[in-house]
Structure 1
Amino acid sequence: MALNRLDLNLLHVFDTIYREGSLTRAARALHLTQPAVSHSLSRLRDHFDDLLFTRQGNQMVPTPLARRFLESMRPGLTQIQGAVNQFHAFDPATQRKTYSLGLRDILESTFLPRLMKRLEAYPELEIVSQRVARRDMETQLAAGKLDFAVDVLLPVSNQTSHELLRRDRLVVLAREDHPLTEAALDMEGYLSAKHVLVSSRTEGPGIEDFELSRLGVQRNIRLRCQHYYAACRVVEETDLLLTMPEAYARIIAERANIRIMDPPADLPSIDVHLYWHKAYEREPALIWFREQLKAIS
């Protein structure tokens, strides 16, 4: 396995296959043909005397040796790439680039329309939005499988940078002809109604329930569901109330018979943060994209 017998360009191919989990996607990211990527992988397999990646369904899954090698190799590769990038400016108008962005469904609806509108002048740029479990976010950022993630404030290590993008207040939604929409919503009316709670968890309170608990009151949760769009559809057809972030509520209210009301108490705001890994923060293409995300927030 002498280094002088290994083409260092193959390390970039290896890293890209690992990040993309697919020879087709790796070829697209590298601007190569799939046969060229397959040939590079064959050379790597010969060099290491290991399969490195095995196909499982439509994914190329790294072998234990490949995982160990990546852990050792990536810091050096990132440092080399960073040194090279300092001397090459990024031109979004002419260069091809695929950005991977971790977004939950509610944030897709508020971020993606404005982002794609802003990127209309850059036809060579491609955006891949994906839902990532919060427990996996830092791992995905460190592995380069995600360029950025947008989410609420989360506990992260000192290897992950983050910046506040915006604060979103909570509002209450009810169907247009709901009896509680006839006047300003007070606490008595809020507590007399039944509620929808949107959460990926099967139990436990929502952020608004912590504030209600501090006030010594508790609301009646009739339905727990996973997606705000489904919850809004339920609200439109029933007497249930939904407490949710205002930015997405405004989008829904434009297309549904739903009224937006102020909550009967000062509820905590939702702080939305942008996350990225420090190892990649000096790459010109990522610096540029980070500024675009901040501009639309």
Structure 2
Amino acid sequence: MFNNMDLNLLKVFVAVYRHRSITLAAEEIGMTQPGVSGLLKRLHHQLDVQLFVRSGRGIVPTHQARELMRQVEPALIQIQNALEGIESFSTDHDRRFVIYASEPAMLMLLPKIEADDSLGNVKIELHPTFSSEEKLINSLNQQRVDLAIDFANYSAPSFLFEHLFEDELCIIVRKHHPRIDDAISLEQYYQEKHITLKLRREDAYLADYFTEESLDERHIAAECDSLLSQMSMISNSDCVAVMSRRLARMFAEKLDIKMLEAPFTSIPIRYRIMTHNRMKQSPSNQWLRQKLKSYFPHSE
């Protein structure tokens, strides 16, 4: 059987297994849906086992398919990595990387990527990450994205996590605030109106999620889902806001806002690179991870 086995059949099987969909697998591989169905039928006949069964509008793998996936996927990854490693990764070749990232990471990365003249023919695209942990995990599992940058602490043993950079909280107000000068006390913090940002995935305000103390209820004037909107509203009001220090530093002069030390104990915001373990030894993925780390040296 092995001598007559076409490895492309296994590649198709893995794609269908990940997506649980012939249509989505066809899109990933760059084939037509009938083409994928035909190759899958060939594999069914060669192995003489049922690999997928219908369930509702989709398909689900059988026990035999799960066993095949468990043994075949690592071998295909090794083959892919070996072929990539023949000449190692080179920026002379056209390559497009897709990264999922939160708003702060995107705002900090884009200028660094644009200013990097060593990328050659490589393109790095930034896309907003999902508000759902399950959707993010699935996208990485199904290789729709090369890696993600996130501050969440996932317990996902199938994934590789590497430190990228740290951030912390600060308070921002407009430069000519009528009541707040160069410092803010905890009492003043509670007296002022607030423009807040809610972390949808964690269902908590930014200030509450990254502080050691339990903060009291605040007088909320507005709630944002974007840090840039939050800073813009602060520059045109007498409210206060809790903000990422790195972002505040980037936009303070442009938006005429000032940064103040937070009157509470903030927890470091640790951003990490997240990718599937299958990509750990991939020369291209290794290059991408090292490139991202070079944008955030420890001295910064």
Shorter-chain TM band? 0.7 to 0.9
Find the counterpart in structure 2 of residue 256 from structure 1. Answer: 255
1:197-219 deviations in whole A, cap 9, x for unaligned? Answer: 21143996435336778377543
Find the counterpart in structure 2 of residue 229 from structure 1. Answer: 228
| Structure 2 CA distance for partners of 1:128 and 1:267, relative to 1, 3 Å | closer
**What TM-score, normalized by structure 2, do the two folds share?**
0.76
Find the counterpart in structure 2 of residue 95 from structure 1. Answer: 93
| Structure 2 CA distance for partners of 1:78 and 1:115, relative to 1, 3 Å | farther
Contact 1:142/1:279 (<8 A) preserved = no
Structure 2 matches for 1:40-189, cutoff 5 A?
A: 40-41=35-36, 43-44=38-39, 46-47=41-42, 63-64=59-60, 69=65, 72-73=68-69, 76-86=72-82, 87-118=85-116, 120-127=118-125, 129-132=127-130, 133-189=132-188
Find the counterpart in structure 2 of residue 265 from structure 1. Answer: 264
Contact 2:212/2:265 (<8 A) preserved = no
Find the counterpart in structure 2 of residue 31 from structure 1. Answer: none
Task: Report the more deviating stretch, 64-73 or 261-270.
Answer: 64-73
Distance 1:246 1:145 in 2: 31
Q: CA deviation at 1:221?
A: 2.8
Distance 1:16 1:183 in 2: 57
| Structure 2 CA distance for partners of 1:129 and 1:212, relative to 1, 3 Å | closer
Q: CA deviation at 1:268?
A: 1.7
**What TM-score, normalized by structure 1, do the two folds share?**
0.77
| Structure 2 CA distance for partners of 1:151 and 1:210, relative to 1, 3 Å | closer
* Cα-Cα RMSD: 3.7
Distance 2:179 2:71 in 1: 58
Task: Report the more deviating stretch, 238-247 or 255-264.
Answer: 255-264
Find the counterpart in structure 1 of residue 195 from structure 2. Answer: 196
Contact 1:200/1:225 (<8 A) preserved = no
Q: Any unmatched runs of 5+ in structure 2?
A: none
1:112-164 deviations in whole A, cap 9, x for unaligned? Answer: 32134336532244535242232333332222223211111413222212122
1:225-270 deviations in whole A, cap 9, x for unaligned? Answer: 2111222222122222110111122223243122222212332221
Q: Percent identity?
A: 19
The structure with the largest helix share of the pair is 1
| Structure 2 CA distance for partners of 1:254 and 1:80, relative to 1, 3 Å | same
Q: How many residues are treated as equivalent by the alignment?
A: 282
Q: Any unmatched runs of 5+ in structure 1?
A: 28-33, 53-60
Q: Does 1:288 align with 2:284?
A: no
- Residue aligned with 2:125, SS: strand
Q: 1:64 corresponds to which letter in structure 2?
A: V
Q: CA deviation at 1:44?
A: 2.0
Distance 1:141 1:210 in 2: 25
Contact 2:168/2:245 (<8 A) preserved = yes
Q: CA deviation at 1:14?
A: 5.8
